[in-house]
Amino acid sequence: MSEASARKIRVTVRAVQILESLDVDKIGEFIFWSSVSSDGGPSVEGRYPANGHMKISEEPVFNRAVLNWVIFEGEVTDHLSVELKGEEEDRFGGNDFLTTYEREFQGPAADWLGRYGPGRDTGDEADEDDPEMMSDWRVTLLVETA
């Protein structure tokens, strides 16, 4: 890869939507984990929120949370791997885990720029199966020039 093809980008988790909380009261206490790697380099890992948890209901009016969580900012050339995990803290037993979100970007980084969300991808991968629509939660990402 030539340095001329490198591009500095930022990946932001704009929002999450919980479709099924496993708590009896239908309000879950969630923690989100990210792991992003580029071009074979080390993974950049993160946690949201940094401490504690956030409460999100599964009720349709209250099940979406805007995070605006920057999970990666750096130079990339032709590959980026994004993995997100959601964990619901359980007061009475072991914690529950949401389906793992994974997306691979390949090719020129300029082609990745856009919004990736349930049913509304704007990047070149818009015709693929929609990885942002998992059975128990949804995620919206923004990939932009940094």
Closest CA to 115 of 129, 132, 98: 132
Percentage of residues of the chain with pLDDT beyond 70:
90
Pairwise CA distance, residues 107 & 110, whole Å: 9
φ/ψ of 80, rounded to 5, equals: -150, 130
More confident residue, 16 or 28: 16
Does residue 47 have a pLDDT over 70?
Answer: yes
Identify the structural domains of the chain with CATH numbers, from first to last: 3-145 (2.60.40.150)
pTM, whole model, 2 decimals? 0.88
CB-based contacts of 123: which residues, under 8 Å, 6+ apart? 105, 111, 112, 113, 114, 115, 116, 143
pLDDT digits (tens, 9 = 90+) for 64-101: 999 999 999 999 989 999 999 999 988 777 889 999 99
Please report the pLDDT score of residue 116 as a whole number.
93
